[in-house]
Structure formats: structure tokens, C-alpha cells
Structure 1
Amino acid sequence: MEGAVLGALRALGYTGQLVEEAALSRALEEGPGCIDFTALCSWLVSELKAVSQVEECVTTATGPEDKETFQLEVSGLVNELQCPYRSLTTGNVTSRLTNKESCLQLLLFLSSELQAARLLHARQPSLAQREAPTGAGDNDEVFGELRALCQALGTAEPTRDVPVPQLFIDLETKIRDASSRLPQSGVGKPLLSKSLEPAQWEQLEEIHRAMCIEYECRRQMLICRLDLTVQSFHWSERAQQHGAEMDRLSESLWWDLSARTSITLAHLLAAREDLSVITKTTSESSREKTACAINKILMGPVPDRGGRPSEIEAPMPTWEGRRSGGGGRRQKSGGKGRKHR
């Protein structure tokens, strides 16, 4: 279960002290008496409050004297979220987190709640924007792209009160000035060369949203297939002896795998014409980077696994059941049996 919690924390973007398995295990042993453990819980709750309507708060403990206060705050939080773990909702409040298993359940519950809340928040952007307080929309996709553009150009970051027309005029001036210092073939022509009307941009956004859903499903399927492939490596007797090490090595590769795509409409505007040129993987230019010594190794004879439908003969029907007096259906007609086809 520790591996599942650690994977969830990394997927959620946690980069604190307990990002390593050994440190997390020690913190779980100490429980509320560990400052790093309380800081992790506080981080999960603060992230949860940013995307949902959670009222309770959990503060980071600064010493052993805050241990009881932390547990009281956790008790109020799990009751508000209707936690299904009875070990976290029943019994003496100050003795619920006295063992490693209960602390692990708390982290698992909070991380799963945060994952679900973020998914619901992402599916309802308009509702989230209406309910968000002033200045809380810094994570908005468009505003984030504008901030990244200003950082790349070396200009001051935009604020919400800056007039939009003036902001784009300043950005256009800065971009033209930077482009004039580049060689003519340095940037290339844009792939999208026509201007779109507002209605067309809305249709393009709908297409982009539908493609994101489609490819998220495909990526999730590939990740699941990869997981099953990795699990199959544990079947051999030799692999069972090194199962823990194999899990440790494979888990480090899972953190970079995400079903959600990071492609936005900004990538379409930044795409150049050379992106539409499809080069075969066997082309000379591609083979310069992919050729290696292993390509010259030829496989020897391998067992024939079959699988050719044209070479399969249809099995002949057998009548053993009828010959032995069973399996045949008969119907009386004038004292004689009549076969039915």
C-alpha cells in the first residue's frame, strides 16, 4: 500500500520531504508526532480546498505539543468528507493515528479524494471560474499561456487588471522585434496560416476537447497494457527472487506516465509547416539516429507458431455421441425414428 500512496502523491505533484519510500515509511511510523507527516496532510488538504468546497483545515504541527490539535483537525476533516475507514472515524480522537496502518489509510484517503476533486474540477471549468474568488484563476489555461509567453520574451508578467488590447499590442511589438533578429529560415512559416472567426475557434476547441478525451482513453489503455506486461515478468522463479528490486525500478518509470495529454491550442498556433512533413522511420535521415550494432544481428531459426488461417483444415464432424446411443434427438413417428437436421 505504501507504493500506491507514493505513486499517488507523485502523480498529484507532491515534491516534499516524503517523496522517497524510506522517508515515508519512517514518517508513518511516527504518525502525528512527525512534522513531515503533518505537513504532507496539510498540503493534501490545502490542494483539496483549492478545487472543492471543503471547510475544515489541517495545519502543520510545529512540535509534539501540536499532536493532539492535529488529530482533532483530522477528525473534523474525515467526518466532513464522510471517510469510509472506521479506524479514522470511530474511537478516541487522540488514538486513531497511533499506528502505521491508520496513517497510511489517511494518506490514501486524502490522495484519492484530491484526485477525484481535481477530475471534477477539470470537467466543470465554467462552474469553477464562477465560484472562484477574485485572483484565484491564475491556473486558467489562457492566462497561464500568457504568463509563459511573457517569461519567454523577458517582459513583466501580466496581471488581471491590464487591458487586453494593450497587452497584445505590447506582446506583438516584442515578438516582431525578437523575430527581426532571427535568420529568415530560423522560425519557418506557421502551419495555421488563416485567421479564424470566434465561432470557428469555439468549434476548434470542441474538436480539441473531443480528441483529448479519445487519446486519454488510448493512453490509459496503453498504460494498462504496459502494467500487465511488467507484471508478467514476475511469473518466472528467478524474477520472484528479485521481485522487490524489480518493483522499485519499474515504479520509478511510472511517475512520468500520465493518461492526460498536455497538448493545447497554443501548440497549434506554434506549429510550423515542417511539422506536416512525415518522414518514414526507414528513411536515410532517420536511420542516421536510430542505426546501431544490434540491427546487424540476425535471429536464428525459431519454432513455428502457426497462426495462418489458410493452412488450417476444418475439423471433420464426429458422430460418437449417436453411435453410443446418446446425443441424438429422435421423435416418434409411426414407431420409427426420424432424424432432424
Structure 2
Amino acid sequence: MENDILDSLNDLGYEGHLVDEAFFGKALDGGPKSMDYTKLVHILSEEIKQLCNVEETVNMINDPDESSTFLLELSHLSSRLQSREDKLLLLDYLISELMAAKIVNVDAPKIETPTARDLKEILITLKFNKPPPNITPEILFSKVEAKVKETIQKEVVRPSERQEGSNTNNIQAQT
């Protein structure tokens, strides 16, 4: 399981010295009293926090005497971090959650910019179908321009009809 954790850390782009098996083993042995182990837990939880917009995170320790603070932050997990396997399971869980968060973040719809929103409204107003994903901006704007010119031409021809219609409405309203 240790090798899987190390591989996953590499996949995530972790560049700390815990990618070395010897350092990783020492950090696991130290567990909550190891500054390296708590720093790794902090890094993973901080990335999850940013990707998932959660408020909670786990802070690293600056001194082995602060391990009780670290364990307090993990509260219900603190009693479970006694064995090497438990420490590996915590890292495995955090890594899995981080990978899932990254996948969801890539697939999540991006926030629409004001320009994109305005363009969408223009296309809807002009009764365009949804443009294909491979359309270039130049082609899209040339089609919008052509449609606007066509719409203006229709409106230029119809003003007399519009005036006659409004006169008829006025006559009917007077009677």
C-alpha cells in the first residue's frame, strides 16, 4: 500500500521529500508527531478545501509537541491513527478524495462571463440554434452579422405596414 500511496502522490504532482521511500517510512512511523506526516495531511486537505469550497482543513504542526493539536483537529480519527496501516489509510482516503475533487472540478461548468452571457442572449434573440462546439468565433460572428442585417432589412420594409396598422388601431379605438 505504501508504494500505491507514493505513486498517487507522484500522480498528484507532489514534489516534497516524502516521495523517497525512506523519508516516507520515517514520516509514517512518526505519524501525528512527525512534522512531515502532518504537513502532507495538511497539503492534501488544503487542496481538497480549495477545490471543494469547504471551510475545514487540517493544520500541520511546527513542533512534535503540537501533535495533540493535530490529533484534536482530526478528533474522531485520532484514536484510529495508532497503527501504520491506519496512517496509510488516512493518506489513501485524502488522496482519493483529492483525485475525485480534481476530476469533478475539471468536469464542472465554468462560471459564465458577462460577454458569454450577452452573446448567448443575442443568439437566443435572433433565434439561433445551439452552435456546434467546433465553430470558430469568426464564423459565429459572421453568421450573427448576416442575421442582424437580414433582420434590419425586414424592419426597413415593414415600417409603412406598422404605421398603417397603428392608424387602424387608432380609428378602432376612437369608435
TM norm structure 2: 0.62
1:47-73 deviation line (CA, Å, top 9, x unaligned): 111110322111111112210111121
Structure 2 counterpart of 1:113, from 97, 109, 124:
97
Q: Distance in 2 between matches of 1:198 and 1:72?
A: 59
CA distance in 2, matches of 1:45, 1:28: 17
Q: Provide the C-alpha distance between the structure 2 equivalents of 1:72 and 1:111, rounded to a whole number of angstroms.
A: 21
Match of 2:87 among 56, 78, 103: 103
What does 1:6-85 align with in structure 2 at a 5 Å threshold? 6-75=6-75
CA distance in 1, matches of 2:17, 2:57: 21
User: Is residue 3 from structure 1 mapped to residue 3 from structure 2 by the alignment?
Assistant: yes
Confirm whether residue 197 of structure 1 aligns to residue 111 of structure 2.
no
Cα deviation code 1:10-56 (max 9, x no counterpart): 11111112011121111111101110100001000111111103221
Question: Percentage identity across aligned positions?
Answer: 41
Q: Tell me how far apart the structure 2 counterparts of residues 12 and 42 of structure 1 sit (CA, whole Å).
A: 15
- Return structure 1 stretches of 4+ with deviation > 3 angstroms: none
Q: CA deviation at 1:198?
A: 6.5
Pairwise CA RMSD of aligned residues? 2.0
Q: Are 1:123 and 2:107 an aligned pair?
A: yes
1:123: how far off? 0.3
For 1:199 and 1:22, how far apart are their aligned partners in 2? 57
What does 1:1-341 align with in structure 2 at a 5 Å threshold? 1-75=1-75, 88=77, 93=78, 95-126=79-110, 129=111, 196-197=137-138, 199=140
1:196–1:98 CA distance, 2 compared to 1 (3 A): same
The SS at the match of 1:197 is: helix
Contiguous gaps of at least 5 residues in structure 1: 77-87, 131-194, 201-341
Aligned equivalents of 1:119 and 1:104: distance in 2?
Answer: 22
User: Which structure exhibits the higher relative contact order, with contacts defined as CA atoms closer than 8 Å and separated by 6 or more residues?
Assistant: 2
| Change in 2 beyond 3 A, CA 1:199/1:4 | farther
Question: Greater share of helix residues, 1 or 2?
Answer: 2
Matched residues in 2 for 1:122 and 1:12: separation?
14
Q: Deviations over 1:264-287 (max 9, x none)?
A: xxxxxxxxxxxxxxxxxxxxxxxx
Q: Contact 1:56–1:73 (CA<8 Å) still a contact in 2?
A: no
Please list every run of 5 or more consecutive structure 2 residues that lacks an aligned counterpart in the other structure: 113-135, 142-175
Tell me the distance in 2 between the aligned counterparts of 1:99 and 1:15.
Answer: 26
